Amino acid sequence: MRAPQPAALPHRTDRRLVTFPERRAARLNGRLLTALLLFAPTPASAELDPFFAGYVYQFGYGSGTSSNNPRVELTIHYCGDGRYYSQGQSCRPNLIAQGYQCTPLADNGQWRTDGDQLLWRSFQGNSGALTLLRQSDGSVTDPRGNPFIRLGPAACR
């Protein structure tokens, strides 16, 4: 009776030599990947509450190049007790009279964070969520790169 044979080891079928330029390219690709991972935006985390609570931020989004994509600029006061109030304007091109047509905006309600999301519920009944990213310089942006710019302490009543 024969003893059982060990399982065959996988062997490499590609026996070509790796040339110096190929090794160098692989090393550069690895370094590039490392650099991208170090400087890529990462999801924001539990540090969001202290980032927002008690501060006023300027936040803008949209290009303002068409009536379907107005430019919205907001000043948002995030109170430490979970309340917020905001004011700003929404501007879109006026096709009849040259220039822009701007509409004032104002809102207030409750805010909180959950993981990498900023959640809000307006006292007027609207609610929403915005995914946030922490940039390598410590700033916070939305997924399109629109930053939250800290203006100072919030004027909470």
The string of pLDDT tens digits covering residues 127-153 is: 999 999 988 888 899 999 999 999 999
Run of H or E including 72: strand 71-78
Higher pLDDT, 78 or 36: 78
71, 97 contact by CB (below 8 A): no
Mean pLDDT, range 96-114, rounded to an integer: 90
pLDDT at 1 over 70: no
Is pTM beyond 0.85? Reply is: no
> What proportion of the chain, given as a percentage, has pLDDT over 90?
46
DSSP H helical ranges for 8-151: 20-39, 48-52
What letter represents residue 134's amino acid?
Answer: R
- The domain segmentation of the chain, as residue ranges, is 48-153
Q: Report which of 38, 41, 39, 55 is spatially closest to residue 134, judged by C-alpha positions.
A: 41
> What proportion of the chain, given as a percentage, has pLDDT over 70?
71
Q: Is domain 48-153 given the CATH code 3.30.470.10 in the classification?
A: no
Q: Report which of 39, 29, 69 is spatially closest to residue 139, judged by C-alpha positions.
A: 39
Q: What is the Cα 29 distance to its own chain's centre?
A: 26
Of 56-70, 72-86, 136-150, least confident by mean pLDDT is 56-70
Tokens 């090393």 belong to 27
Mean pLDDT, range 25-42, rounded to an integer: 44
